[in-house]
Amino acid sequence: MDGNGRWAKRRGLPRVAGHKKGVDTVRRIVQTCAELGIKYLTLYTFSTENWKRPQDEVATLMRLIVRSLKSEINDLNANDVRLTTIGDFNSLPAIVQKELMQSIEKTRNNKKLTLNLALSYSSKWELITAIKNISKQVKENEISIDEIDEKIISANLATKDMPDPDLLIRTAGEFRISNFLLWQLAYAELYITDTFWPDFKAKHLLDAIINYQSRERRFGQVSEQISKNSQQNNNAKTP
């Protein structure tokens, strides 16, 4: 969700104004995803690298997260949205941890959409944590080294309870992944838009989805194989 600061700067506003406006976009996009039947939406909310930002900006962002969780809980329940989070939870301020846990508990039975907030998250942190967990399992003879495969690694990631993303949308025209879901994005389709996050509306999301639907996802195969497999699947479903 990039471009909050630049959005504010272009308007002669403090950066925090962009972050506050970005919350409105979150609300709009979450509701649209729920309406479209999208099952999982992960928002890169705050990276481990973001801790390096000016202290006053970080403090403002933390307060904004708490305020947003409190104010949006009713809408999340009304839209049947379940809240989850990934990241270094213990590095967050105690008040953020408390509000997150309360919101997660209050929405845990919702089923329409899972809204996953990546907070104090980086993919390198996630992979290091996974390697440590797997190493411990090997050391304690729970698994052998030869058993380590893609499934074992995926099962030790923060996203173990959700599918890998189909589509990554990057706002504000940045052409990089920025330490986000490096393992999980192996075959995701990437969509880059110049639109700043505060200006990102439902129509921009629909444009991204329509663009995604026009692509051929080959997963290492050639077009002819995809076409043949699709035809066989369709024939198998024909009564």
For residue 42, the model assigns a pLDDT of 98
Strands (E), the chain: 40-47, 81-86, 113-121, 167-170, 189-192
pLDDT range class, residue 234, cuts 50, 70, 90: low
What backbone torsions phi and psi does residue 173 show, to the nearest 5 degrees? 75, 15
Place of tokens 């408390």: 98
Query: Can you give the length of the chain in residues?
Result: 239
Active-site positions read 2, 50
Tokens of 54: 């000016």
- List, in order of start, the domains of the chain with CATH numbers: 4-213 (3.40.1180.10)
Q: Confidence class of residue 218 from pLDDT cuts 50, 70 and 90?
A: confident
The pair of three-digit structure tokens given for residue 136, joined into one six-digit string: 């411990």
- Output the pTM of the full model: 0.90
Q: What is the mean pLDDT of residues 30-34?
A: 97
d(CA 147, CA 134) in angstroms, rounded, equals: 11
Mutual angle of helices 202-213 and 15-36, in 10-degree steps? 50
pLDDT above 70: residue 226: no
Strands (E) in 137-204, as ranges, are 167-170, 189-192
Q: What is the mean pLDDT of the chain?
A: 94
220 against 14, higher pLDDT: 14
Instruction: Note the pLDDT of residue 231.
Output: 67
